[in-house]
Structure formats: C-alpha cells, structure tokens
Amino acid sequence: MCGEAAIDRLPLDLLAYILSLVTSFTDLAQASGVCKKWRKAVNESMARRETLSFAGWKMDDDSTSRLVHLAYNLKELDISRSRWGCHITDNGLYQIASARCVANLSSISLWGMTAITDSGVVQLVSRTSSLQHLNIGGTFITDESLLAIAERCHHLKTISMWCCRHVTERGLLVLVNKCRKLESINLWGTRVPVDCFIALLTISPALQIKPIQLLLNAQNPPPLLHAV
C-alpha cells in the first residue's frame, strides 16, 4: 500500500501530469509498480502524451506496443533504431496497428528497423489515414509498402526512403501520383534511374527530391574554364 507521504496525497490528475514529464521508460515502469494509484497515474500520463520516441531505448515488440496502446492522444511516434537497439519486428507493427491512436498519427519514424518487412508496414499504414510525415529509411521495404502508403496516406507531405534499395520506379510513380500533397521525398542511396526523377517532377513539379540537384549537376557539368 502507499504510504502517507505528501506526494501520496496529490490528486490523481496532478500526479499524472508530473509523471507525464518523465522521459525515462524505466522510471515509469518503476513508478507503475509503487501501488494501484501510481499505476493508474502512469497510465493517465501516457494518455496525455502527443509524442513518443523509443530511439535509444532497449524496447521489444510487446513493451513498445503496450505503451503505444496507452497513448490515446499520440500524434508523433518514433521507433527508430539506435546503437543500443529498439528492436521492432513485424509482430510489433501488427500490435501497434491496432492501437486507438494510430488513426490520428501525423508522424511515424521507422528508420533503421531492419527486422520489419512489407507485411508489417502495410498493416500499420492501413490505419494511418492522418499521416503527414513518414521515415522508413534504412529498411528493406519494397514497392508493396509504397503502394499501400499511396492508397491510405493521402495527406502525406514528406517521406524518407534513405537507402531503401528495393523500391523501384513503379512504386515511386504510384506514390507521387496518388499522394498529391507530397512536398518532399528523400531518395538518397536508392537505385532508381535518373529518368525516374524526371518522371516524378513531371507529375509534381514542386516536389523536392533530395538528390535531384546532384543528379542534374552530374548530367550537366559546368563548362571548363580555359586559361587565357
């Protein structure tokens, strides 16, 4: 049972607010084990959060999805992989996809999640109708994911596919053609031909493509200066 310390006399709403300022998931887990009141306060503190970042934390599928399910008001989700390892698989994406907050997410980062495949990404984006910013760089996704994103994410503004070497011109053309609000696309390290970049700009002339300037410079090198 909780003791009679001053903090234990705090109203639940105030305790939840204080815990919402805690950034350590380890500390939150420990706080949740203090007593029933604190566990409820931790759950309420998660429900208040609009952003969650697991980058740098040792998280697995179950622990990550459990917290996302508690974050009813979540708008931005970052489960990028770091050196210490947030290791998420397709199973984790399946679980996250069923969370109540997913339909309202405006930003998702799956950067470096090498254990995920098209199957998990397709399942997740099937419910992200409000998505505006997506980072799937450093993954092994293919056109299958791009086609699903094109079908569901009509509000998409930016997408990063840094070093996604398995996407092709076909998937990119469908994506840009259907996501008419798309403003920026990062294709560094992909294997798409130069003609694809030209085709994307033909569909959306204002589209910002990260490597396009370098490619155009390579095609049109500046004239050599002749010595007088």
pLDDT digits (tens, 9 = 90+) for 89-118: 999 999 999 999 999 999 999 999 999 999
pLDDT digits (tens, 9 = 90+) for 114-168: 999 999 999 999 999 999 999 999 999 999 999 999 999 999 999 999 999 999 9
Question: Alpha carbon 67 to chain centroid distance?
Answer: 15
**Delimiting residues of CATH 3.80.10.10 domain(s) in the chain:** 50-215
Unique residue bearing structure tokens 């994307």:
200
Burial state string for 118-149 with b = 16 or more CB within 10 A and e = fewer than 16: bebbbbbbebbebbbbbbbbbbbbbbbbbbbb
> For 36-63, what is the mean pLDDT?
86
Q: What does each C-alpha distance from 37 to 3, 67, 147, 221 come to in angstroms? A: 11, 18, 46, 68
pLDDT of residue 82: 59
Alpha helix (H) ranges present in the chain? 12-20, 25-32, 36-48, 61-70, 90-97, 118-125, 143-152, 169-178, 194-203, 212-219
**Delimiting residues of CATH 1.20.1280 domain(s) in the chain:** 9-48
Residue 220 banded pLDDT, cuts 50, 70, 90: low
The top-level CATH class assigned to 50-215 is alpha beta
Among 29-38, 48-57, 120-129, 214-223, name the most confident range: 120-129
- Helix or strand or coil: residue 170? helix
> For 13-20, what is the mean pLDDT?
82
Higher pLDDT, 195 or 143: 143
What's the CA gap between 169 and 142, in Å, rounded? 11
Query: 68 exposed, middle or buried (CB, 10 Å; 0-12, 13-18, 19+)?
Result: buried
Q: Starting from the edge strand earliest in sequence, which strands make up the sheet with 158-160, in order?
A: 51-53, 76-78, 107-109, 133-135, 158-160, 184-186, 208-209
pLDDT of residue 216: 60
pLDDT of residue 130: 96
What's the CA gap between 112 and 88, in Å, rounded? 10
Higher pLDDT, 113 or 213: 113
pLDDT of residue 217: 46
To the nearest 10 degrees (0 to 180), the angle between helices 169-178 and 143-152 is: 10
pLDDT digits (tens, 9 = 90+) for 51-91: 988 877 788 899 899 999 999 999 999 988 754 556 889 99
Neighbours of 21 (CB within 10 A): 8
What's the CA gap between 97 and 104, in Å, rounded? 12
pLDDT of residue 224: 54
- The answer to whether 69 and 93 are in contact (CB under 8 A) is no
Model confidence, pTM:
0.84
Residue 213 banded pLDDT, cuts 50, 70, 90: low
First-to-last alpha carbon distance for the chain, in angstroms, is 90
- Residue 214 phi/psi, 5-degree rounding, is -65, -40
The top-level CATH class assigned to 9-48 is mainly alpha
